[in-house]
A and B are shown apart, each in its own frame.
Chain A
Amino acid sequence: MPSRPSLNAVVVGLLSALLAFVAVVQVRSQFEVERSLSGVDPTTLAFLIDDLHRANDTLARDAGALAARRAALQGGSNQEAAAQLNAEAAQLRVVEGLVPVHGPGVVVTVDAPLTPLDLQDALDNLRVAGAEALALNDQRLVTSSVINGDSEGVTVDGVSVRGPWTLWAIGDPTRLSSAADQMTRALRDDPRVHSAGYRAESDLVIRSTVVQRPFVYGSA
C-alpha cells in the first residue's frame, strides 16, 4: 500500500514548482523584450527622434499660423477673407511651381552620365533638406514631375534634358548646403562622375515654371 505524502514533501514540491515558475518567467520575459526590439537599433531611433522633433516644430508652426487665420476670419470681414485667399493663392502657386521664385539656396553641378533614378534621388535629398522650389537644367520640378529615360537620355515631364547637370534648390540655406555637401562628396566617389560641386547663393532665382494639367479623372 503506497504511503501518503507527508506535509514536508508537499512543501518541497511546491517550493520547487515555484522556483521553476519564477525562473522560467524571468528568462522568458528577458528574451521576449530582446526579441521585440531586435529590429530597432538605438542609432536609428535617435535619428527618428531628431526627425520627429523637427517635423513637430514645423507642424506646430503651421497649426499656429492656421489658428491665427481662423481667428482673423471669425471677425467676419470680407476684406480679411479676400486678403487671406490672395495670400494663400500666391503661396500655393509657389508650392506648385506655377510662378518664378527667388530666395536663398544652393546650385549643385554634376558632370556625369546620371540616370533618371540618380536624379530622382538627388532631388529627393534636396527636398528632405527643405527645398521649397527645385529646377533641373532649367526645368522646374515638383514631386509629381516625371523624370524618365529614353534612348536619347533623360526627360523631365516629356522634355529632353542632357548633362552636365545643374540642380537649383531654394530653401533653408543651412540645411540645403549640408545636404549638397554630403551629396557631392558621395558623387565624387562614384567612378562615373567627372566632377561634382555646389555653391550657396543668398538670392537664387528660378524662372522656369511647371505646366499644370487640369484634373480629368479626380474630383473633390
Chain B
Amino acid sequence: MTLRRTGAYLLVALTALTFGYLITAQLRAELPVPGNRVVRTEALVRTVQDLESTNAGYRSQISSLRGQIDTLEAQAAQRSDTTQRLRDEVAGLRAHAGVTQLRGPGVVVDLGNGRPGAGATDYLVNFQDIQDVVNLLFQGGAEGVAVNGHRISPLSSFSGPAGTVVIDQGNPLNAPFQVVAVGNRNQMEHLMGDASKLGGLRNRQRALGLALSFQGSPDLTLAPYDSALETRFAQPA
C-alpha cells in the first residue's frame, strides 16, 4: 500500500516537473525575438543613461566654471574702473542671454501626456507643443523662460521624438513638463487664457486628455543657462 502511494506521488511530481518544463520551453520558444529585442534595448537604454549622466556632469561643470569666472572678474573689477565698466556691460548682455539667474513675477505652465489612443502618438506632449507655449510666453512679454529647469537662450532649439523634448545640448526631457516664464505676468496670463491660442494643444486636451494648466505668480526664479553658447562660425561683420 505504502509502495503504491509513493509511486503515485512520484508520478505526480514527475508529471508536474515535465509539465513545468514544457510550459517554460514553450514560452521561451514563442518569445525569442522580443527577448533579444529587450536585451538590445536594455543595452541602448544603459548607453542613454550613461550619456545623460555625462551630460549632467558637463552642465554642472559649466555652471560652476561660469560662477568662478564671475568671482575672478569681480576681483579684477575692484582694481580697475575700466574692468568694472566692462563687467557692468557684460552683466546686461549675460542677463539677456539667460546665463544669469532671473527673478520676478510670471507664469508657470504645466503640461502632461493624455490617454493613449489607437496607435497615434498625439496623446504625448511633443517638442512643438513646448515650443508653441514658449513662443506664446515670449509674445506675452516673457523676459526669461525655462522648461523643466532648462533656461532658454537666444539660440535655443527644440527637437526630439514624440513624447520627448530635447532643448539645446540638454538631456531628453519627458512629461510632465513645466514651463516657467518671468516677465509681464498679466499679459502672459491673458494670452494663456485666450482660447484662440495654442489651438492644436487645446484640441488634443479635449480629445485625448492632455493636461494643460497655468498659474500666475508674483515671484519666480529661473536658473541660469547651463549649456554651451557657441559661435564657431558667425563672426561680427
Nearest-neighbor residue (CB-CB) of A88 within chain B: B90
| A21-66 residues at the B interface, CB under 8 angstroms | 22-23, 26-27, 30, 33-34, 37, 39-42, 44-49, 51-56, 58-63, 66
Task: State the Cβ distance, A204 to closest chain B Cβ, in Å.
Answer: 9
In the bound complex, what is the Cα–Cα distance between A159 and B59 (angstroms)?
37
A128→B159 contact, CB < 8 A? yes
Which residues of chain B are within 8 angstroms of A34 by Cβ–Cβ distance? 34, 38
In terms of DSSP, what is the predominant structure of the interface of chain B? Answer: helix
- CB-nearest residue of chain A to B60: A63
Shortest Cβ distance from residue A24 to the other chain B in the assembled complex, whole angstroms: 11
A142 within 8 Å of B (CB atoms): yes
Q: How big is the A interface, by class? A: 35 or more
Which of A180-188, A192-200, A210-218 touches B? A210-218
Q: Which residue of A lies closest to B170 (CB)?
A: A55
Residue among B5, B42, B169 facing the most chain A CB atoms (10 A cut-off): B169
The smallest C-beta distance from B216 to any residue of chain A, in angstroms, reads 12
Interfacial chain A residues near B105, Cβ < 8 Å:
217
In chain A, positions 145-160 with a C-beta closer than 8 Å to chain B are 145-148
Contacts of B156 in A (CB 8 A): 127, 143
Within 8 A of A (CB), among B159-175: 159, 161, 163-164, 166, 168-172
Residue of A nearest to B17 (CB): A19
Given A103-B235, A217-B105, A56-B51 contact (CB < 8 Å): yes
Interface contact B76-A92, CB-CB below 8 Å: no
The answer to whether B215 has its CB under 8 Å from any CB of chain A is no
Would you call B154 and A96 a contact (CB within 8 A)? yes
Q: Which residues of B contact A (CB under 8 A)?
A: 2, 5-6, 9-10, 12-13, 16-17, 20, 23-24, 27, 31, 34-35, 37-38, 40-42, 44-45, 47-48, 51-52, 54-55, 58-59, 61-62, 65-66, 68-69, 72-73, 75-77, 79-80, 82-83, 86-87, 89-91, 93-97, 100-106, 128, 131-132, 134-135, 138-139, 141-145, 152-159, 161, 163-164, 166, 168-172, 182-185, 227-237
> Can you list the 6 inter-chain pairs with the closest CB atoms, starting with the nearest?
A62-B228, A81-B76, A55-B169, A127-B157, A59-B58, A142-B154
A positions within 8 Å CB-CB of B: 6, 8-9, 11-12, 15-16, 19-20, 22-23, 26-27, 30, 33-34, 37, 39-42, 44-49, 51-56, 58-63, 66-67, 69-70, 73-74, 76-78, 80-82, 84-86, 88-97, 99-105, 117, 120-121, 124, 127-128, 130-133, 142-148, 170-173, 205-207, 212, 215-220
